[in-house]
Amino acid sequence: MKDFTDEQKERAANLKGLGSSRKRVEDARFTQGKGNYVDDIKLPGMLHGDFVRSPYAHARIKSIDTSKAMALEGVVAVLTAADLAPLNLHWMPTLAGDKQMVLADGKVLFQGQEVAFVVAKDRFIAADAVELVEVDYEELPVIVNPFEALQSDVVLREDIADKKEGAHGPRKHHNHIFTWEVGEEAATNDVIENAEVVATETVYYHRTHPCPLETCGSVASMDKVNGKLTVWGTFQAPHVVRTVASLLSGIEEHNIRVISPDIGGGFGNKVGVYPGYVCSIVASIVTGVPVKWIEDRMENLMSTAFARDYWMTGKIAATKEGKITGLHCHVTADHGAFDACADPTKFPAGFMNICTGSYDIPTAYLAVDGVYTNKAPGGVAYRCSFRVTEAVYFIERMIEVLAIELNMDAAELRRINFIKKEQFPYQSALGWEYDSGDYHTAWDKALKAVDYEGLRKEQAERVEAFKRGETRSLMGVGLTFFTEIVGAGPVKNCDILGMGMFDSCEIRIHPTGSAIARLGTISQGQGHATTFAQILASEIGLPADSITIEEGDTDTAPYGLGTYGSRSTPVAGAATALAGRKIRAKAQMIAAYLLEVHDDDVEWDIDRFVVKGAPERFKTMKEIAYAAYNQAIPGVEPGLEAVSYYDPPNMTYPFGAYICVMDIDVDTGVQTIRKFYALDDCGTRINPMIIEGQIHGGLTEALAVALGQEIAYDDMGNVKTGTFMDFFLPTAWEVPNYITDHTVTPSPHHPIGAKGVGESPHVGGVPCFSNAVNDAFRAFGLRHTHMPHDHWRIWQTANKLGLHD
């Protein structure tokens, strides 16, 4: 904008387009309690569903007696697998090519598994009836450890026990799901065997849960008169749900309408299809009246999709000077009872092969073994692109371990291994083409901002004071440089259940110069109604305040693959910009006609077309919109609408530099975050205020995961962290004041250069907090300790190092 006149700057500012910290238009209703969530939907005659769930992690079901429940006044139906079997709906396909029980078919495989679905006239009767369903279980041996699962004679999945081939190739054992390999195994082993220095470590990224504030739920309404099925639900991908529902039920797709209303957070938890959705639909089809199912918090934590649970063993090779020469990574992935990971079909371990990180590593190899255990299914990307947080956690821990091995400063080790600015587009050893980056500039800016050298000096002084007995507090400096891979993705290699991962935008300009745009994505708190209007405002020159954004209704929105993996801006945002450009192209013809000049003789000026060389002659977009509908223009159809379907040529690669300064009370294990600095580069910045909000939220979820949030099981497969008493959800009290910063390296292939940002802070934040804890004990010989770093585990680390003696 530097060449703009003041008058032009004012016009641009009035649009509230790209770069404007426009306030979120959604917040008027959210902050006044006027949102419309699934549980707010109340239809006449609506029935309520509730699940009988398994108390056991592994058991055979000998019998289910529903007679007492059915006898309760107000109970309409109790569905079991036997009732769904004739419809072939007692099992359903998962997004990962496996199948999953909708209701327990002969056995249960995890605690909290859905066994029977009670339908009653109100929610309270349904809950009472659940207590009356009598299930006779015969307990079976429980396996909650994936390494044990691969050795055990106990067959978890009897339905596929003799299948040697799964959706992703050969199976090595009856509890094995797949092996996924990327890279050069022999060459990598060669490099490691001949390396001057090799650091080896096993890094466990524990099981946790996305835990959105709103739990999952659905309302299904089958209209038997017109044959239409309407389903409201907590869906991050409503169009995919419509297609899957059609394929499963046999109802033609045009007769199914799926609506995602306001959604209270998703973080990956609402990508998959859950038995509750299926049961509410079946129950509505059977009863002919609407059926609602809303899970409670414990059900959400116990049974809907978890995240992580990756055992990652790494070997990283380097020269004595610290130049990394090779990376070997093996993952044992605990997928629980069914493989219900939400990944693009060809990527059974998501984009774990981004695990070479931000570093120029010439040779690498990754192998992932998926394993069944008696835990809940899932494996979703909790506020990250597919398995990217696992990958970044892995490499950022390995870098720290290598720094210890080399006796080097970890910031310097990163610097000498960064991919250089001039190497972009960069081809990674594990198959990705990084689009753009300037890592050295970001790193230097971050280190300077926190006075990195000063911090290290202070830390060294603290260690000495500790040794002299003058303090019982240690100081950790957590470093992370992350590269995300988001915006899935190119249809040539990214699909979900065969549906290519493009996205879409459809725009209608109204005659008076306002507009509605509909997209294939769905906001769950990201603020799409605010930011997509900003993209359009800059493209078509109408104020963002005059543009309505609508998502989530499959009867009106164009087909799209939904919102997760930070894909909305990279994919649907690109479609929005390109649809806007189609509008502008037609507007140019109209303007030229109105101005009585040739099409090529007008040029775009913020919110209008002006005659080249005669800027006093112009037509604003508002005027053009009116003319488009009300004036006969030779050779131009009336109206002003456009649609764009965008198949991205590549992923986008946001990156960032995070630094955490933490004080640790060695005696109690209590950590205090003194400072957290986050530099993000997400390319072109659409709304800085929303970016900052995303960073704050993502960092807070990262803090949760790193410092205590987990889904833990005992040996019997009982969930130990099924309520907020034990499942750590931080409050404002536990959260530090974050310092945010940025650089801007636009994506070269995205129409507006934007890369996506929602998940970066989580991906970068988790290793940063964890590295700070580990770093605090580096001077006392610690190499690595597993997350979550809650008080007692930190205390245990100090204890094992002899710091309590």
Partner 1 sequence: MIPASFDYHRPSDLEGVLALLKEHGDDARVIAGGHSLIPMMKLRMAEVPQLIDLQAIESLKGYSVNGSHVKIGAMVTQHELINSDELAAVAPILRETSLQIADPQVRYMGTVGGNVANGDPGNDMPGLMQCLDATLHLIGPNGTREVAAREYYEAAYVTAREEDEVLTAISFEAPKGGYAYEKQKRKIGDYATAAAAVTIQKDGGKVASASIAMTNLSDTPVWSEAAGNALVGTTCDAGAIKVAVAAMLDDIDPTEDNRGPVAFKKHVAGIILTRAITRAWERA
Binding site for partner 1 (CB under 8 A): 50, 123-124, 126-128, 131, 296-298, 667-670, 708, 712, 720-721, 724-726, 728, 730-731, 733-734, 790-792, 795-796, 799, 804
Could you give the residue ranges of the DSSP H alpha helices within 650-790?
Answer: 688-707, 760-776
Q: Which of 207, 383, 387, 567 is catalytic?
A: 383
Choice between 128 and 495, CB closer to partner 1 = 128
Residue 202 CB, nearest distance to partner 1 (Å)? 22
First to last CA, the chain: 63
Choice between 135 and 577, CB closer to partner 1 = 135
Choice between 295 and 607, CB closer to partner 1 = 295
10 Å Cβ neighbour count for 194? 11
Residue 148 CB, nearest distance to partner 1 (Å)? 22
β 169-170/256-259 pair status: unpaired
What is the distance between the alpha carbons of residues 273 and 95, in angstroms, rounded to a whole number?
8
Q: Which of 111, 236, 524, 588 is catalytic?
A: 236
Contacts for 33 with CB less than 8 Å, ≥ 6 apart: none
Choice between 443 and 777, CB closer to partner 1 = 777
Q: Which of 216, 341, 355, 384 is catalytic?
A: 384
CA dihedral 570, 573, 575, 578 (to 10 degrees): -110
Question: Is 26 among the residues known to form the active site?
Answer: no
DSSP state of 780: G
Name the one residue in this structure whose structure tokens are 């580990």.
774
DSSP state of 314: E
Choice between 670 and 779, CB closer to partner 1 = 670
The closest alpha carbon to 26, from 267, 271, 261, 238, belongs to 261
Question: Is 383 among the residues known to form the active site?
Answer: yes
Residue 710 CB, nearest distance to partner 1 (Å)? 9
Task: Retrieve residue 573's tokens.
Answer: 């945002």
- The amino acid at residue 74 is G
DSSP state of 161: T
Choice between 423 and 672, CB closer to partner 1 = 672
Instruction: Determine the distance from the C-alpha atom of residue 144 to the mean position of all C-alpha atoms in its chain, rounded to a whole number.
Output: 25
Where is 687: in which H helix or E strand?
none
Q: Which of 608, 759, 768, 778 is catalytic?
A: 759
Burial-class residue 225 by CB neighbours within 10 Å (0-12, 13-18, 19+). exposed
Residue 187 CB, nearest distance to partner 1 (Å)? 45
Burial-class residue 63 by CB neighbours within 10 Å (0-12, 13-18, 19+). exposed
- CA 326, 332, 334: angle at the middle one, nearest 5? 145
Residue 376 CB, nearest distance to partner 1 (Å)? 18
What is the distance between the alpha carbons of residues 519 and 276, in angstroms, rounded to a whole number?
26
Residue 769 CB, nearest distance to partner 1 (Å)? 15
- The amino acid at residue 701 is E
Choice between 774 and 797, CB closer to partner 1 = 797
Residue 712 CB, nearest distance to partner 1 (Å)? 7
681 touches 744 (CB < 8 A): yes
Residue 780 CB, nearest distance to partner 1 (Å)? 18
Could you give the residue ranges of the DSSP H alpha helices within 522-640?
Answer: 528-540, 574-595, 621-630
The closest alpha carbon to 754, from 625, 623, 654, 611, belongs to 654
Question: Is 384 among the residues known to form the active site?
Answer: yes
Question: Is 462 among the residues known to form the active site?
Answer: no
Residue 676's DSSP bridge partners are 660, 738
Choice between 176 and 800, CB closer to partner 1 = 800
Choice between 669 and 765, CB closer to partner 1 = 669
What is the distance between the alpha carbons of residues 257 and 554, in angstroms, rounded to a whole number?
6
Contacts for 606 with CB less than 8 Å, ≥ 6 apart: 4, 8, 11, 12, 15, 541
Residue 673 CB, nearest distance to partner 1 (Å)? 14
Residues labelled catalytic: 236, 383-384, 759
